């Protein structure tokens, strides 16, 4: 670790000095190779060294600020430059030099992933690590601005290496096998990725889209049925392999059912929003009559939030059920604390096979899910991260779907519930502005009526 730290120090020392570019390039290569050779604990230690030893010199910055404050009016230009330079942490110079190497940007993306992992593990001096993460994020955000990103449609004829990465990196609805993957990039489906010239062959964000006649309310027709498209009507087959031929008139809705960011080191850098907008433009050009754009999204965290809510209610802290629901609970599950009883039911998935429980649970779970998505906040924004993402993009919280994903993953995350966020193209800008400025959420009456 000491050898790599010495290389970093040399890169910092030569900043601004008349040094051949080959010298700094060789030092940057030594840093990259040395860092990659370290094990995880040594990497975390080196990152802490970078963050603490090569942070902004506060004394220097204050002295520059004092000179700026005392400078006569009209003569601040040179001192302003001194202040700007004093506020740039020395490790940024190292990152910029590494970013100029072939493969250097990818290295920095991976380095920031290690940095975020070190923060989660509670390394010493988290403030210094957070500051370095923020500085590196700002650099990466500049390099990964939308103007540098390349929108690409993935099809079955795409390079095998890209198809393999799409299958391996899909996080929302994992790809089961090659048959599954072929369906997801085949007829009545679209898969879009963002890539970057500095990371060829590396998808940064994945977006899966289903083309249907109506807004889907269940995920099974989107990721499980390979030989048909729910709502697409009669199918037309031709060709030696019996390929399904798309009928454009049957494409009335585009359902975004999976958005996956593939690079942990790019966390906090907005790309999913731009990918959705790019996909909308591409689909609208391909299908001029297409006007309905919606998601079928998971509700991660809903079940965990609900179980905590029921535990608190059992202690008398809150009463999230109505009086009528409490009576129905007693009639269905027997006497006793309704919140404890409901929590016991939801801690397993056995209730899915008990139809007699469904009417009561449908009422309770959809209402509380509406509360979770629409009313529960973190710093005035939606508590649920998926809701926050789509509402911030200008979408409408349109419909909550009962048992839309009864898979083990869906039951664990949200008791099987999913939600449609609808993208009304003529309302996106106004909705986004309202949410960002006043945290107002656009919600359809299908959601707000549940809360009434």
Per residue in 359-388, pLDDT (tens digit) is: 999 999 999 999 999 999 999 999 999 999
Tell me how many degrees the CA angle 178-184-187 measures, rounded to the nearest 5.
115
String of DSSP letters for 381-406: EESSHHHHHHHHTT-EEEEEETTS--
- The pLDDT, as a whole number, for residue 230 is 44
pLDDT, tens only, 28-51: 999 999 999 999 889 999 999 999
pLDDT, tens only, 226-237: 444 444 444 444
CA dist., res. 62 & res. 100, Å (int) = 31
Smallest CA-to-CA distance from 175 within 158, 191, 152, 151 is with 191
Active-site residue identified among 24, 390, 432, 439: 390
Active-site residue identified among 297, 380, 407, 439: 297
pLDDT, tens only, 80-96: 888 888 888 999 999 99
Alpha-helical (H) ranges within 100-244 are 104-120, 126-143, 160-169, 178-184, 220-223
- The answer to whether residue 297 is catalytic is yes
- The pLDDT, as a whole number, for residue 225 is 56
- The pLDDT, as a whole number, for residue 103 is 93
Smallest CA-to-CA distance from 392 within 378, 379, 382 is with 382
Q: Are strands 292-295 and 253-261 parallel, antiparallel or unpaired?
A: parallel
Residue with tokens 């599950």: 333
End-to-end CA distance of the chain: 61
CA dist., res. 239 & res. 175, Å (int) = 26
Q: How confident is the model at residue 17 (pLDDT cuts 50, 70, 90)?
A: confident
Domains of the chain, start order = 2-54+89-143 (1.20.140.90), 148-295 (3.40.630.150), 302-451 (3.40.630.150)
Least confident of 141-150, 173-182, 219-228, 295-304: 219-228
Q: Which run of H or of E encompasses 94?
A: helix 90-99
- The answer to whether residue 390 is catalytic is yes
pLDDT, tens only, 386-399: 999 999 999 999 99
């Amino acid at each position: 670790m000491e050898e790599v730290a010495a290389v970093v120090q040399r890169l910092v020392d030569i900043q601004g000095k008349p040094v051949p570019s080959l010298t700094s390039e060789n030092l940057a290569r030594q840093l990259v190779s040395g860092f990659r050779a370290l094990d995880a604990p040594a990497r975390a230690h080196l990152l802490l060294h970078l963050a603490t030893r090569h942070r902004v010199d506060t004394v220097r910055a204050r002295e520059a600020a004092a000179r700026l404050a005392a400078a006569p009016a009209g003569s601040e230009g040179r001192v302003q430059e001194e202040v700007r330079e004093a506020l740039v942490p020395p490790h940024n110079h190292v990152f910029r030099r590494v970013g100029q190497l072939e493969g250097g940007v990818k290295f920095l993306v991976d380095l920031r992933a290690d940095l975020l992992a070190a923060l989660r593990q509670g390394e010493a001096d988290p403030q210094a690590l957070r500051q370095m993460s923020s500085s590196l994020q700002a650099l990466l955000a500049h390099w990964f601005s939308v103007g540098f990103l390349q929108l690409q449609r993935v099809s079955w004829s795409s390079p095998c290496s890209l198809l393999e990465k799409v299958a391996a990196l899909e996080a929302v609805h994992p790809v089961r096998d090659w048959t599954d993957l072929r369906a997801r990039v085949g007829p009545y489906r679209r898969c879009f990725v963002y890539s970057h010239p500095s990371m060829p062959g590396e998808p940064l964000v994945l977006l899966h889209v289903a083309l249907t006649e109506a807004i889907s309310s269940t995920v099974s027709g989107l990721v499980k049925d390979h030989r048909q498209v729910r709502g697409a009507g009669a199918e037309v087959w031709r060709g030696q392999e019996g390929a399904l031929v798309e009928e454009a008139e049957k494409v009335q809705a585009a359902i975004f059912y999976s958005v996956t960011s593939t690079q942990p080191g790019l966390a906090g850098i907005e790309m999913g929003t731009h990918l959705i907008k790019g996909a909308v433009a591409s689909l609208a050009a391909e299908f001029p009559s297409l006007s309905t754009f919606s998601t079928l999204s998971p509700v991660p965290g809903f079940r965990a939030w609900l179980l905590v809510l029921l535990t608190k209610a059992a202690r008398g802290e809150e009463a999230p059920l109505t009086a009528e629901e409490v009576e129905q609970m007693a009639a269905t599950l027997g006497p006793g604390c309704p919140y404890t009883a409901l929590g016991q039911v939801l801690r397993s998935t056995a209730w899915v096979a008990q139809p007699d429980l469904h009417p009561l649970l449908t009422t309770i779970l959809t209402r509380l899910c509406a509360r979770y998505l629409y009313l529960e906040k973190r710093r005035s924004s939606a508590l649920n991260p998926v809701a926050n993402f789509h509402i911030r993009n200008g979408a409408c919280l349109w419909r909550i779907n009962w048992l839309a994903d009864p898979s083990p993953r869906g039951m664990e995350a949200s008791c099987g519930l999913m939600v449609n966020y609808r993208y009304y193209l003529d309302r996106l800008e106004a909705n986004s502005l309202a949410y960002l400025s006043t945290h107002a959420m656009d919600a359809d009456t299908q959601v707000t009526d549940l809360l009434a």
